[in-house]
């Protein structure tokens, strides 16, 4: 089964999605924190953990190995549910290798735009490889191709690393990611809402209720 994550730092959205009974986890990043209007990563992350009771990714902002490792040490100590997001750069790769050697080294390798980057992140011990589908589409590439290629590579070599389809823009991305065999799909709350809504369902329901009204009122 593919897991559904929300790509947001807004606790109201997370609370609502949890009430639907289909949310498995949450991913955040500095931009999403800015949109949620908070700079307190620890408080925000722990509030989200409390609501979702599942994996929550929080991102480092250092760009050098030592800085990333130091931040990761702090972030990972907050809760057993927290995953640390490390950018897929050379420095990031070195940091992943060090962090993944820790017993609690839960890593979400972020900003992945090629299957080669995903392969290297998996080799460095990442638990999740976050492929940014929408941003590749925006740049004129087929982002979902990278999800398919990453899935094939991880299956070929039996990597434990999970394929995470990120930068999801619309429900068709979700459908394609499911068909491509992604392990996790992280999406904005608006996309989750669009997944369940259909005008045909609304019209169908209206007609059922109107007909039921007719039959019950005629007897």
Which parts of this chain interact with ligand E4P (CB under 6 A)? 7, 27, 29, 31, 110, 130, 132, 134-135, 166-167, 186
Pairwise CA distance, residues 187 & 206, whole Å: 30
CB of 26 to ligand E4P, least distance (A): 9
CB of 31 to ligand E4P, least distance (A): 6
Nearest to 21 by CA among 202, 200, 192: 192
Give, for 150, the enclosing helix (H) or strand (E). Answer: helix 143-157
Counts of helices then strands in the chain (DSSP H, E)? 11, 8
CB of 213 to ligand E4P, least distance (A): 44
- Residue closer to ligand E4P by CB (options 29, 150) is 29
CB of 156 to ligand E4P, least distance (A): 25
Among residues 42, 85, 194, 214, the one annotated as catalytic is 85
DSSP, residue by residue, 46-62? HHHHHHH-S-EEEE---
Q: Is 85 a catalytic residue?
A: yes
- Residue closer to ligand E4P by CB (options 5, 159) is 5
- CA angle 10/32/122 to nearest 5° reads 115
- CA angle 136/177/185 to nearest 5° reads 90
- Residue closer to ligand E4P by CB (options 32, 101) is 32
Are 77 and 105 in contact, with CB atoms under 8 Å apart? no
Record the tokens describing residue 216, joined without a space. 């019950």
Nearest to 28 by CA among 3, 46, 1: 46
- Residue closer to ligand E4P by CB (options 34, 203) is 34
Catalytic residue numbers read 85
């Amino acid at each position: 089964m593919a897991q559904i994550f929300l790509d947001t730092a807004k606790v109201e959205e997370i609370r609502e999605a949890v009430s639907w009974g289909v949310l498995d986890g949450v991913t955040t990043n500095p931009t999403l924190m800015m949109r949620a209007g908070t700079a307190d990563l620890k408080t925000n992350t722990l509030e989200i953990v409390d609501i979702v009771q599942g994996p929550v990714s929080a991102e480092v902002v250092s760009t050098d190995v030592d800085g990333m490792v130091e931040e990761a040490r702090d972030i990972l100590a907050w809760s057993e549910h927290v995953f640390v997001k490390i950018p897929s750069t050379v420095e990031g790769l070195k940091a992943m290798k060090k962090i993944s050697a820790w017993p609690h080294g839960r890593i979400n390798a972020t900003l992945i735009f090629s299957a080669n980057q995903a392969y290297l992140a998996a080799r460095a011990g990442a638990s999740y490889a976050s492929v940014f589908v929408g941003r590749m589409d925006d740049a004129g590439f087929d982002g979902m191709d990278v999800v398919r290629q990453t899935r094939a590579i991880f299956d070929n070599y039996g990597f434990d690393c999970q394929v995470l389809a990120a930068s999801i823009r619309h429900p068709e991305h979700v459908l394609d990611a499911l068909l491509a065999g992604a392990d996790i799909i992280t999406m904005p709350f608006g996309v989750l809402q669009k997944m369940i809504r259909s005008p045909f369902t609304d019209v169908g329901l209206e007609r059922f209720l109107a007909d039921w009204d007719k039959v019950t009122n005629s007897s």
